[in-house]
Structure 1
Amino acid sequence: MRRRSQGAGHGDGTRRVLVAIVTGLAICATATGCVRFPAPPSPPPVAFGVQPTPQGAEPDAAREPAPNSQTCDATVSLRPGPMPVPAQMPIRTTMADILGRGRLIVGLDIGSNLFSFRDPITGDIQGFDVDIARAISQAIFDDPNTIEYRVLSSAERTEALIDHSVDVVVKTMSITCDRLRDVAFSSPYYVASQRILSTRNSGIDGPAALAGKQVCAARGATSIGRIQSIAPRARMVTTTTWADCLVMMQQAQVDAVTTDDAILAGLAEQDPWMQLVGPSLGEEYYGVGIPKGQDDMVRFVNGVLQQLRVSGRWQQMYDRWLSILGPGNGPPPPVYRD
């Protein structure tokens, strides 16, 4: 009994101490004379925003020679022969091999707005270059849609023709003396002028303003060597596609883009803050790239292009896709060497 009484008294005492502590804390919370111990100051939260760089972008690109640094008759091509009936190609010809395979393999890209791009609503690949490819397919198969597209970067075009992984390249490919060592070309189907794309508030109005500026171009484009010769103090940044150049300029990672006016117009159409500036820096003649040694295919494609010129179809294609560049001067006249 004594132990039980002592244990009960000890428990009551503990409860009284706890009640006193809680009561004291409550009084202190409402009194003005209590000692307070503020929490140590905490630094404000810090966030670092890092702008993503497109995959494959390379700053400080190596210097390249200006296009056509050695003079040659680059745009002179083979005269077209009689055009065969569609779906009835002459035997033992490149066109017969393509017909037998059942599809035309075309190298292009899907990031060159106006020339070759994927429609965001339908998913179809379309544009001026695509219409050229469809005309070739129509002439072989009597069907403009018998095409397998292979997406290529600018730097991959020549190699795809050398290893015959494509039948033709229709991808804003300029005819140059350097490229003619490795591949063949049709007669020109379009003439472009190299210019500069900048933002409206950049102060860049021509090549002289590019000194010390970051200038973007797709790897493998002839525009790199030309701008390096005209504005040697420009700092070149190369990317895989022209769309990557647009993204980098929107993120202020580069100051300008330079290439052919038709490609730049397609970029500017996607962003109202972009504008083409300065004079023409040189002309570029686009041709259909064809594997070297396939003279029959060169003559055949030249026949297709001639039909587009004389029928008025070329002008219809221009009006649909490239009217943003103005009325234009019509298709470039072909020059043949035989």
Structure 2
Amino acid sequence: MKTTNWLRRPGVWAVTSALLLGGFAFAGSSAADPNDAGARQSQVRIDRAPTDDGNCDKLASASPSTSDSGLDVQRIIQRGKLIAGIDTNSYLWGSRDPDNGTIQGFDIDLVRALAAAILGDPNKVQLLAVPTDQRIPALQKGLVDVVVRTFTHNCAREKQVSFSADYFTTGQQILVPKGSQVTGLNDGIKGQRICTATGSTAEALLQGSPYKSQEVKVANQLDCLVLMQLGQVDATITDGALAVSQQAQDHSLRILSGQLDTEYYGIAVKLGSTDLVARINAVLQSYIANGDWQQSYDKWLKSHTGQEATPPPAHYR
């Protein structure tokens, strides 16, 4: 029998505020309170940064293991809760249900699946809202065990954190408000105000583009949505998965056809936490095989993307 009791009914997105602590915000709780829980673009690709030897098998991760004996897994078990860095500003991926305050979305389902597998209870989680540019520091400082936050797995980041097998395929796309003159990553963006989140792959892509625009950087991709609605930026570059999230909140926005690259989301942990990566990969393997990944996708994303989807194939070292 599938363990899917952490999958909750989606609600209407709402902007909420949280008490910030050094750039982070506690967004949920442990088991003591389970409810706290148009135009085709030019195909300009930005290659992932290579490793020192000029090669990077960016899809490969540690082989799955169901063992709980590793130091990093044991630390979570002994604490009795999984501390996860998440997003609370991405509708469909991680945001609050306005009816009951519960944090919910595709990534949150995955966090709860991890807790269910490692701790036997999907509610034994503490959710920490982490800004885009603080995902890696949160792991390096030991503030969180995992980051499950639409986090693109690439070579440059593999030098700083360790990644699970990839669990979602996406790519950078351009989102424009009504009346925008932007038609793609081409000469049309010269002088235009283009919004990206600091520390995102979209920021790197825009900086590597030969077309010079006015770069507007924000802490979280949701801020770009607000700026577009206020008429303060002419376009946003973000993951296609997040562009769909923004468009779901404002139907006047358009996602320009064509992806600028192909990217994959992975679960990140502190660099060198191999036992935890292996345990996570075993959970992902089961989560996909028993249909929970598909159930979560169908629940949160399918009606907005209008597409069928499957997780990317796993590759292990």
Pick the TM interval, shorter chain.
Answer: 0.7 to 0.9
Distance 2:182 2:239 in 1: 17
User: Where does 1:29-48 land on structure 2 (aligned, <5 Å)?
Assistant: none
- Corresponding residue of 1:274: 253
Identical amino acids, percent of aligned pairs: 37
Structure with the greater alpha carbon radius of gyration: 1
TM-score, normalised to structure 1, is: 0.76
Query: Within the alignment, does 1:73 sit opposite 2:57 as a pair?
Result: yes
Please tell me the root mean square deviation across aligned C-alpha atoms, in Å.
1.7
Q: Does 1:222 align with 2:201?
A: yes
2:310 to 301, 316, 330: 330
Deviation at 1:93, TM superposition (A): 2.8
CA contact (8 A) 1:308 1:314 kept: yes
Q: CA deviation at 1:180?
A: 0.8
Alignment partner, residue 137 of structure 1 = 115
Match of 1:239 in 2: 218
2:136 pairs with one of 134, 146, 158: 158
Alpha-carbon separation, structure 2, partners of 1:67 and 1:242: 22
1:261 positional shift: 0.6
- Partner SS state of residue 120, structure 1: coil
Contact 2:46 2:261 in 1 (8 A): no
Deviation digits for residues 114-165 of structure 1, max 9, x if unmatched?
Answer: 1111111111101011011001000011110110111110100001111111
Q: Summarize the alignment of residues 97-112 of structure 1 with structure 2, pairs less than 5 Å apart.
A: 97-112=75-90
Of residues 104, 125, 135, the one that matches 1:147 is: 125
Unaligned runs of 5+ in 1: 1-55, 57-64
- Determine which of 191, 202, 217 is the counterpart of 2:180: 202
Counterpart for residue 313 of structure 1: 292
TM-fit CA distance, 1:251: 0.7
The aligned counterpart of 1:212 is 191
Q: Residue deviations 1:206-252, cap 9 Å, x none?
A: 11221210010111101111123235312211011112111111111
Question: What SS is found at the alignment partner of 2:171?
Answer: strand
| TM-score, length of structure 2 as denominator length | 0.81
Deviations 1:63-111 (A, max 9, x none): xx94513251112111102x25xxxx43x53222111111100001200
1:44-66 residue CA offsets vs partner (Å, 9 max, x unmatched): xxxxxxxxxxxx9xxxxxxxx94
Question: 1:115, 1:273 → 2: CA distance?
Answer: 21
Tell me how far apart the structure 2 counterparts of residues 182 and 97 of structure 1 sit (CA, whole Å).
21
Paired amino acid for 1:331: P
Helix, strand or coil: the match of 1:207?
coil
- Give the Cα–Cα distance (whole angstroms) in 2 for the partners of residues 326 and 132 of structure 1: 22
Task: State whether residues 67 and 225 of structure 1, in contact with CA within 8 Å, keep that contact through their aligned partners in structure 2.
Answer: no
Gaps of 5+ in 2: 1-22, 24-44
Query: Residue type matched to 1:227 in 2?
Result: L
| d(CA) in 2 for partners of 1:216, 1:275 | 15
Give the length in aligned residue pairs: 268
Identify, as 1 or 2, the structure richer in helix: 1
Measure the CA separation in 1 of the matches of 2:207 and 2:308: 28
